[in-house]
Structure 1
């Protein structure tokens, strides 16, 4: 991983220079894997993000604070109790391990001063945030590790904190470059130099090892058996320079951007290995760099985690409805034979005089057809001919009633499935915690989700619709979810405004505000593109979009949120584009 022990040493120095002596003002836990400490000095306030996420574990100052839940988790409340008002007195890093110890002077419940330590372990999926008391015992941890998970190193309240097992690598803070070269000679000769460096050195990431190889080999790939005396001299020189930059924390944070302008790596060295295939951007601080590298990806990950339970619940309901509809359609297909049942009853009634009791079947002329073909009718030998006829009539009436009920139930289930598709689509467009909260509240109101027991939370304040200015200065409003679609179309919009919606495709209600003007063709097309972009058809071309005046849009009684009917409409085919 790019956030190696050497880079963490640079972060440690930055934290020490800016926040040592600061006091803990607030503590937040936006989700189960991240915590934010608000630290205040006499002159400035800092937001310290500590993340134990498997793919983005890190610690740094941040400007992008994640949204916080209304109810803080237990660990957050414990941290607030023990660390509120505490003073950050020291930041420690053992060698170049990916560990950082934040020592705080705090006051306990008895008023005595105690030393508490927040341990940040940055180790991929084993990353953790651990609170340790003055005796070195664990108070609690973000991720508890019990004997069922491992027997090597337990992380549980009351146990003594132990460092993670050492990897036995060389630390550049304690050894000289010649010792590193000697250790390299003991590796497999067929091994690439960069991989050999990675296996020997502590606290350096693959990008640093590749950079050393690039500089030693002047851009050529180097295997250990290819190293000449000249290569060894260059290797000793660049390892010495690396040692100096790590000791003095003199490196400058650099971010590597791919050809698509998306961040792909970072380091405290200026990387030369990418040449013209990547863009290298320099940052003034490690925190600024890490904010730029992780923020967009972490935001997507956070939203994905929070919407996962909703997505799973909606998918389960949709699958159940689909299976129900298929079963009802199969049953409805059987009801299509009900006319045959009535005909059998009529023929039996018309021929009672010639049917003997106790027969299991009888052949009679079908006078409903011109050729009077013979038809075999099955009978129940235990019933009289008249009772058999009545049984056929009874089965006919039962099939007719079933057909009516099944048709009604299938139509209702299809409308319900269409509504769930619209909720899934709005869920895919949710970008904030409030968007997810509104979707959750909508599902609770419609009976698809149960409100938490004892919950007295007030409904979240409705967010404003999305606003856009399109061609010729017209304003367009786009609903974020079904409830907002209803509010936008039925309450906010004027009767003369133009309403847009993708044809037979789940999506947002889109309103072109006319303000008494006649909309231009360009404005109509822009509004139609916005409606298509905020729909399930956003990645398609030639998406059909219906539009009409708001006065022609109506909501049937009892219809679910976002469901309307409309007439006097036109259809436009557009290709949505993000811009």
Structure 2
């Protein structure tokens, strides 16, 4: 359905910024992605809310997104520069500037302060300022007295008056409607003005000059009231299309859908527009790649055709030598005597001056270095090796022709590969490359490390001491099995049995999982893992002692399991969507043949995640490659226990 609001208004941004303050202040920036020429995602982390993704589209919006938009494998250079500058920084504050559609995030990194300035309107922009100078800008601009480019101070857009600064004369000295007057003079969105007029029971077409002093006071009070009204985020389907508001607008009629937060409403409202832009950007890059391939193919085809003509010419020259064998033999005999008597330089001079006599008069050129003469036979210049028999010259011509034909054969094979790549790209263009995203609803256990055993049991493990505590207090049931490694820093692992008998294979897999996510991975050592029943675990320490967070007292018999290895496999399964699974190799192998295994090693987590994705891309069926490309390497990184090596199989 048609969306009526193409970008957030200053009023919308007022509410978004207030929500973001409670969500991202303070947060650490962990990564930056560029989804299209103008759309960015800033990934942040804080202890209260975990990982969040801030979507910044300077033409439309800023908000927390819960949609897994595809992130490019190779970031554009603009993104890489911004990433280098602000990754690892802390977001200290976020403010809206003067009720404008301008948002400023204050960042701190290495004792330096940065301002990330977001201009959110049709010709919006993203600017990074340090020491009152622009150090990064999405789009350099120069309009009137406003110049935005690296090295210059940031100049804000034209600031309109504060609504509180309006006086009666401002209203009297205009022939504009009240809505237009407030938009031009104080930047008050037209939709908000209409809502205010509706609530004050004033004519929406009223002229600014016709408004009484009392009505002006009421209007200013109503603006303050609406700024302080409790948020009630909603998307409204009207007869003209969809619109979005942070509060319920009484002036509008239509079907209203309420949302818990305005961030969520904005995320939903602009989703399809964002998908279209990302799809077009990806399609554009595919078209560019297809164009480059066509150019390469055209050049290669021309080179191959040229080489074929050259090989054909060499064969014809060899045939002409064979047909004139007697003439060439006599020539070579006479040439030998001439060289013996007068030398090569004399011959070169005579040929150049046209002073040679038959049979040497058919020589037209000489290569003194290689002792080759070019003779004219049937209007064709043919090279002959002067100090060899004519058969050697014929053989040399055929050999060179064969070498060229072999080079062309290899060229044809390469050309075939290029044409296949082009065909694949053209097929993708024809089918269109619309990005499909789905908000994934996470199961309760997905915040932990988890896998499904080859026997079908859910196995979950704490990511840290806090999660170990949460597992113990909330999720362990009487019939479950609990595992722990004999090493400090082991996760608490739980096999959810639901009253079923657990087989040996599940216990081995759960043990490998426990050891792999313990400090044993970092130490690259095999450790003992044991299992117990829930009634053997206690948080009550002996008198006079203290239990640290995430620690437990185990009583009774510990059932030890000998594990064969420390290894984690990461694979792909296709259900409704393509999903990542991980765990011990036997568990992953029971569900998919597309997986990669890793073990403790020396390759950092970031590089390992890239290697895993690359290998998965090589293994999966062609029909799944597009969907796999949408899976972020960051998602894979969260599954890797530490420095690793890839186990090739």
TM-score (normalised: structure 1): 0.48
Q: Which has the higher contact order (CA 8 A, sep 6+)?
A: 2
Q: Which has the larger radius of gyration?
A: 2
